[in-house]
Every structure is written in C-alpha cells, then in structure tokens.
C-alpha cells in the first residue's frame, strides 16, 4: 500500500508540477477536492485520469484526490460520510435514497446519456429482446434488480416466468452456459466473452423502456450551496478531459498502462474496446454531462413506473449552465 500511495501522490504531484505555471498565473492555492469513482479503475473513468494527468483540475485551482470504487463501494455513502465532495452514481438508487430516506442529494450532470447496462447473452443462445427471457435464467447484480423489473414491466413480460439469480460480475457462468443471460455493462462484457472464444449479443435496458442515465454526477445540497465554485471547476475540467479522450478513443488507455490501469487485472485491449463502445452513449450536442429537459423527463417517467418517486427538483442543471 505504501508503494501505491506514494505512486498516486507522485502522479498527483507530477500533474500538479506540470500545471504549476498555470496555477501560478491564477495566483491561488489549490483547494482539496475529493472525487469518489463508482468502479475500479477502468476506461469508464478515462476522462478524469486525463484531467488529472494533464493538470486540468489544477488549472481550476483544485487539488483533486481520486478514490477508486468497487462492488462494495456505495458512492452515495461517501458523500454522507463526508469523505468525498462529488461522486458518480446510478440515478435509481440515488433518487430512491432521496425519496425514501430524505438523503440530501442533487444530480447535477450525467456521464452516460444512455445507461450502458444491458442484457448480455451468447450468440449461440441469443436473447435479443425482453420476451426472449421467458423461461430463462438471468443473472442480475442485486442493486440492478429494480431496473430489470422496470424494463420487464414496460415490455409487458411476466417477471415470475424468469429465473433471476445474483450476478457477481463474473461472465464465466454465462460462457459455460450455467446461466442464459446476465445484466452488465454492454461496453465491457462482450469483449471478455469474445476473448473466451464465444460470440456475444446484447441489448440495452434503455432501448426497452428503462430510459435512465448512468454515472450521474451527484453532490450534496449543502455542497451545491457552499462549494459551488469548486464543483463547477471540477465538472469543467472533467469535460475537457473527456473531450480530449474522444478526439481519438484509442490514444489514452495505452498511456495509462503503467499508472492508472496498472495491476487491475484487465488488459489494455479491454479498456480500448470499452472506451470506443462508450463514446456513443456519452456524447451529447450540449457537451459531456449534459442533461436535457427531455432526457430528465424520460428519467422521471421510467423511475416513476417502478415506484421510485423521482421529481424534476432532484435534478439541478444550474452547474451545467455555469460551465457554458
């Protein structure tokens, strides 16, 4: 761990040092800002890595500390615990927490315009629509059960006719035929399945009625009031990082092989596949993180259909307007 901390420090320092002349021009000391990612280091966060390494955050006067996520990290919890200033979440859990428990969250942006979560199956036993699921075994991560049930409901498929089992983010049972389909990031798993010598097909829950964002950018109400400048700076710098990335999605992942992606157990080819696949799900005419009124409306509708009391006031577009 010592090694890891030192390395991370080193990278942050290096990035800060590279940005020093510009920071000096701004003439302000960098303010600490903690960012909690929603998963382990993979291509999902390329834009932030670029912004860190190229000193975009430092230009905004921010000293950003990056916390990796994982299956057990509940990003919203880190906001409540005060360990992070900003995090990425799935909108269904965030809004459920606001509505059911009065959690003081606001959604201020969306990384994915279309949720990359979908139903993945083998081409040899293809599942191309919700109807195909009847009589099959589907592995679902417990946190996504609501989303899946919503999709089934809007598609008019009887949930009791599908055998739903827990999914531990391991595609092996699918490849071996123990399950017929799994719910996972369509930007990622098909690659793994191809590597294992099989062919995958997939469809997005989004395209069958569950029209929600993913990796929604979330802060607390309090932070939105009192830390607005830094939040805006973070989002602006992050957008810059993402724009750099999508100029050519093949450029950046290999550069992080020995830094951000080191020791994750995943290959750079995998990250490249991911990075290319996510581009159409993220880009928006109004820029990365945009939340148009129509898509907010679509989110609210989809969530209301599953009994999550989403309201327009849970989304706050003012920071996006500030970035311009």
Partner 1 sequence: MATETLASPRPVPRRRMAGQGRLGTLRNWGILLVLWEIVGRLRLVADGALPAPSAILQRLWIDWSDYPPHIWATIEGASIGFLIGNALAIAAGILFVLFPLTGRLARGINIALFALPPIALSPILVITFSGMTPRIILAAIGCYFITMSATVTGLSQTDRRAIDIVRAYGGNRWKVLRLAQLRSALPSILSGLRIAAPNAVLGAILAEFGGGGRFGLGVYLIGSLGRGEPDRLWGIGLAATLIAGLAYGLFSLIAARLTGASRAVTMPAAAPSEARAKGFLRETMIVLASIALPFLFWWVLLYAMGTPAMIAKTPPALFEYLFLSPQSATNLGKLAAALAQTLPMTIIGMAVGLAFAFALAIGSVLYPVIVRAFMPVALVTQTMPLVALTPLLVLMLGRGHSVILWITVSVTFFPAFVTMAQGLSLVSRAALDVPRAYGAGPLKQLRLVTIPASLPYVFASTRLAVPRALLGVMIAEWLATGKGLGNLLNQSRGYLDYGMIWAVAVVSVLLSVVFYQLVVLIENRVLSKRGMSPAQ
**How many whole angstroms separate alpha carbon 56 and alpha carbon 43?**
18
Shortest spacing between CB 273 and partner 1, in angstroms: 12
Which of 143, 159, 199, 297 touches partner 1 by CB under 8 A? 143
Q: Verify binding: residue 142, partner 1, rule CB under 8 A.
A: yes
Q: Considering only residues 13, 17, 196, 309, which one is a binding residue for partner 1 as defined by CB under 8 A?
A: 196
Residue 125 in contact with partner 1, rule: CB under 8 A = no
- Exactly one of 18, 122, 175, 224 binds partner 1 (CB under 8 A); that residue is 175
Q: Please, what is the minimum distance in Å from the beta carbon of residue 292 to partner 1? A: 27
Spatial separation of the C-alpha atoms in residues 324 and 313, rounded to whole Å? 21
Residue 171 sits in the site that holds partner 1 (CB under 8 A): yes
Q: For every residue of the chain, which 3-state class applies, written as one string? A: CHHHHHHHHHHHHHHHHHHHHHHHHHCCCCEEEEEECCCCCCHHHHHHHHHHHCCHHHHCCEEEEEECCCCCCCHHHHHHCCCCCEEEECHHHHHHHHHHHCCCEEEEEEEECCCCEEEEEECCCCCCCHHHHCCCEEEECHHHHHHHHHHHHHCCCCHHHCEEEECCCCCHHHHCCCCCEEEEECCCHHHHHHHCCCCEEEEECHHHCCCCCEEEEEEEHHHHHHCHHHHHHHHHHHHHHHHHHHHCCCCHHHHCCCCCCCCCCCCHHHHHHHHHHHHHHHCCCCCCECCCHHHHHHHHHHHHHCCCCCCHHHECCHHHHHHC
The span of 34-42, 56-64, 235-243, 298-306 binding partner 1 (CB under 8 A) equals 34-42
Which range in 141-149, 229-237, 239-247, 280-288 contacts partner 1 by CB under 8 A?
141-149
Return the residue of 99, 145, 251, 268 that touches partner 1, per CB under 8 A.
145
| Residue 263 engages partner 1 in binding (rule: CB under 8 A) | yes
Q: Does 298 bind partner 1 (CB under 8 A)?
A: no
168 binds partner 1 (CB under 8 A): yes
Q: Does 164 contact partner 1 by CB under 8 A?
A: yes
CA 32 to CA 46: how far, in whole Å? Answer: 21
How far apart CA 199 and CA 212 sit, in angstroms, is 27
Q: From the CB of 89, what's the least distance to partner 1, in Å?
A: 10
**According to CB under 8 A, which one of 125, 155, 243, 264 is a site residue for partner 1?**
264
Least distance between partner 1 and beta carbon 61 (Å): 24
Contact 60, 20 (CB under 8 A): no
Q: Per rule CB under 8 A, is residue 103 in the interface with partner 1?
A: yes
Least distance in Å: CB of 165 to partner 1? 5
List the one residue from 87, 93, 227, 238 that touches partner 1 (CB under 8 A).
93
| Rounded least distance, CB 78 to partner 1, Å | 7
Q: Given the rule CB under 8 A, which residues bind partner 1?
A: 1-5, 8, 36, 40-41, 67-74, 76-78, 80-83, 93, 96-97, 100-101, 103, 141-143, 145, 164-166, 168-173, 175-178, 184, 188-189, 192-193, 195-196, 262-266, 270
């Amino acid at each position: 761990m010592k090694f890891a901390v030192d390395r991370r420090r080193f990278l942050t320092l290096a990035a800060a040092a590279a940005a020093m002349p510009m920071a000096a021009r701004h003439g302000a000391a960098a303010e600490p800002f903690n960012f909690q990612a929603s998963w382990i280091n993979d291509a999902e966060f390329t834009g932030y890595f670029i912004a860190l390494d190229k000193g975009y955050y430092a230009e905004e006067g921010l000293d950003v500390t990056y916390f990796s996520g994982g299956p057990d990290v509940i990003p919203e919890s880190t906001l409540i615990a005060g360990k992070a200033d900003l995090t990425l979440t799935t909108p269904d859990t965030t809004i459920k927490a606001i509505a059911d428990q009065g959690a003081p969250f606001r959604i201020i942006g969306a990384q994915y315009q279309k949720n990359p979560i979908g139903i993945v199956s083998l081409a040899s036993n293809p599942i191309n629509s919700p109807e195909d699921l009847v009589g099959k075994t589907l592995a679902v991560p417990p946190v996504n059960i609501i989303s899946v049930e919503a999709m089934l409901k809007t598609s008019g498929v009887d949930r009791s006719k599908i055998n739903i089992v827990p999914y531990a983010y391991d595609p092996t049972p699918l490849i071996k035929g123990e399950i017929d389909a799994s719910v996972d990031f369509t930007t990622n798993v098909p690659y793994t399945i191809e590597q294992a010598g099989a062919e995958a097909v997939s469809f997005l829950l989004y395209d069958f009625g569950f029209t929600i964002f993913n990796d929604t950018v979330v802060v607390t109400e309090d932070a939105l009031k009192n830390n607005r400048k830094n939040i805006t700076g973070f989002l602006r710098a992050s957008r810059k990082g993402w724009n750099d990335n999508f100029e050519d999605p093949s450029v950046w992942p290999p550069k992080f092989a020995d830094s951000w992606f080191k020791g994750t157990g995943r290959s750079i080819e995998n990250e490249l596949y991911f990075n290319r696949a996510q581009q159409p799900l993220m880009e928006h005419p109004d820029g990365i993180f945009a939340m148009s009124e129509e898509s907010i409306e679509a989110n609210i509708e989809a969530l209301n259909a599953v009994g999550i009391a989403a309201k327009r006031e849970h989304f706050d577009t003012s920071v996006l307007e500030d970035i311009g």
